[in-house]
Amino acid sequence: MDEKTQGQLLSEKLVYKTKNTFESKNAEKDVVTEYCEGYKKFLDNSKTEREAVTETISMIEKKGYKPYKLGDKLERGGKYYLNNRNKSLFMFKLGSESIENGIRITASHIDSPRVDFKPRPVYEDSEMCFFKTHYYGGIKKYQWVTTPLSLHGVICKPDGDVTVCIGEDDSDPVFYISDLAPHIAQLQYQKHVGEAITGEQLNLLAGSEPYDDEKTSDKVKLTVLSLLNEKYGCTEADLISAELCAVPALKARDIGLDRSMIGSYGHDDRVCAYPSVTAMLESEDSEHTLMNIIADKEEVGSDGVSGMQCALLSDIIEEIALALGGNPRVVRANSKCLSADVNVAYDPNFPEVFERRNTAFLNHGVVLSKYTGARGKSGTSDASAEFVEFVTRTFDEEGVDWQMAELGKIDLGGGGTVAKYIANINIDTIDLGVPVISMHAPYELVAKNDVYMVHKAIKAFYK
């Protein structure tokens, strides 16, 4: 082999390049493939935050995690989870070192953009029955028409709550939002693409067969209500308090002849939630106190009792600190957090919106974002140089492929995560996640290597 020239050696020393995991060999293909089979199952079983909480509890109870409520006794070495109203979950493992060294926290979210039911959803028009919806999160509305949708949620009644899931089994019916035929779409074509389909047009088609009784009106609506009553024992009035939503009735599938990618609904942010759970379950030996949060309401601003702006995180940290004889303020000050959420991957079909040197690429590992925000870094926490160095050094030591990126060109893009809400209570926090193509679409895309690399990154952080 030829000896390297001085220039080549200098270039190796001085020039920075990100690594493609296929070339870095930091993940074995067989391991990645097997890991992602587990992730695909999680995706199919966890299309809403409630389902993700149930699925996660079944995963962690097998590994000895015990239910915990505020005020319960905590013991050093114990493994606990707090199920917050079936919508968000805090799992934590109390370590052997001093609690005043802080907690290693990962926070991701399990809500995804979708189409929620309005409180009074059912109506009949032109001998068709529909459900009125109110979309949840940042969707491109035109993407949600003419695609099969399934129904998920809960109906609460005086005689008990029932869980709803229609459209996931291959033998189930699905639901549908209509669009115009191109033949009669001349007016629609003249509209701005963001207005081609409006929020009030996202009406879910639910039936077309009239109830067989001459003496009633709205016969198709009555058929639909009678079928709901048969299946769930509910009336139209019960739907007022119900939480029902429509999500794509599509399963996670391998994408590409090489099967290197996964298409699915709701990668954002189950693609960080699942690895955060598996990483925690493989960190039994860590001496640190570890906490893993899968939160709700990130897609609509993290407000409310199940969002990351809720005081519950502070309350749990305080309970842990007091149980282990630490000062809660000191515990928070010394804690560290990975805000695990997705980022945008470079898409060569839309080069004009990216600044390539500061953009994440598929297969180049986890994406770190020192800051997010928009319009001159507004509305974000900004991880310190010291903390970024700590995290990237940890990843380098543990063979984690990582890349640092922004979200689109300045003044074209922008976004936010839960990072700032955790940083606001005096915890060093940085965003980390998976690059995604077609984020918030009914069917999003990620690379398998990157999914596995998040698992590896969080494990490194917990070590």
C-alpha closest to that of 431 among 344, 338, 334, 297: 338
By beta-carbon proximity to Mn ion, the closer residue of 317 and 419 is 419
Nearest to Mn ion of 300, 404 (CB atom): 300
Q: Given phi > 0 = left and psi -120 to 50 = alpha, else beta, which region is 233? A: left
Question: CB of residue 109 vs Mn ion: minimum separation in angstroms?
Answer: 6
DSSP secondary structure string for all residues of 268-289: HHHHHHHHHHHHHHT-TT-SSE
**Residue 270: closest CA among 429, 436, 121, 430:** 436
> Binding string, 137-156, against Mn ion, x = CB under 5 A?
--------------------
The least distance separating Mn ion from the CB of residue 342, rounded to whole angstroms, comes to 5
**Minimum CB distance to Mn ion, residue 261 (Å):** 19
For position 268 contacting Mn ion by CB under 5 A, the verdict is yes
51 binds Mn ion (CB under 5 A): no
The answer to whether the CB of 249 falls within 8 A of the CB of 148 is yes
CB of 94 to Mn ion, least distance (A): 29
Q: Which stretch binds Mn ion (CB under 5 A): 30-38, 84-92, 262-270, 309-317?
A: 262-270
444 part of the interface to Mn ion, by CB under 5 A: no
Pick the piece of the chain touching Mn ion (CB under 5 A) from 150-158, 163-171, 335-343, 372-380: 335-343
C-alpha distances in Å from residue 181, one per residue of 10, 178, 186, 187, 208:
61, 9, 10, 12, 20
Decide if 413 contacts 353 (C-beta within 8 A).
Answer: yes
Of 237, 208, 238, the C-alpha closest to 125 is 208
How far is it, in rounded angstroms, from Cα 121 to Cα 27?
Answer: 48
The residue range among 3-11, 220-228, 245-253, 338-346 that interacts with Mn ion, by the rule CB under 5 A, is 338-346
Nearest residue (CB) to Mn ion, 124 versus 268: 268
269 binding Mn ion? (CB under 5 A): yes
User: Does 296 sit near Mn ion (CB under 5 A)?
Assistant: no
In the complex with Mn ion, the residue whose CB is nearer, 164 or 338, is: 338
Shortest distance in whole angstroms from residue 308 CB to Mn ion: 11
Q: Are 418 and 341 in contact (CB under 8 A)?
A: yes
How many residues lie near Mn ion (CB under 5 A)? 3
| Closest separation in Å from C-beta 53 to Mn ion | 17
- Range 165-194, binding Mn ion (CB under 5 A): none
The tokens for 22 are 């296929």
By CB under 5 A, name the one of 51, 111, 296, 341 that touches Mn ion: 341
Contacts of 71 (CB under 8 A, 6+ apart): 319
Q: What are phi and psi of 293, to 5 degrees?
A: -115, 130
Nearer of residues 139 and 155 to Mn ion, judged by Cβ: 139
Three-class DSSP category at 253: strand
Residue whose Cβ sits closest to Mn ion: 269
Residue 75 C-beta: closest distance to Mn ion, Å: 34
Q: Are strands 103-109 and 336-340 parallel, antiparallel or unpaired?
A: parallel
Residue 433 CB, nearest distance to Mn ion (Å)? 8
Query: Using CB under 5 A, which of the segments 94-102, 250-258, 333-341, 352-360 binds Mn ion?
Result: 333-341
- Shortest Å, Cβ 412 to Mn ion: 17
Cβ proximity to Mn ion, 55 vs 268, nearer residue: 268
Task: Give 432's contacts (C-beta < 8 A, 6+ positions apart).
Answer: 272, 338, 339, 340, 341, 366, 367, 368, 369, 391, 454, 457
Of 93-101, 239-247, 266-274, 343-351, the window that binds Mn ion (rule: CB under 5 A) is 266-274
CA gap 87, 93 in Å, rounded? 20
- Contact footprint for Mn ion (CB under 5 A): 268-269, 341
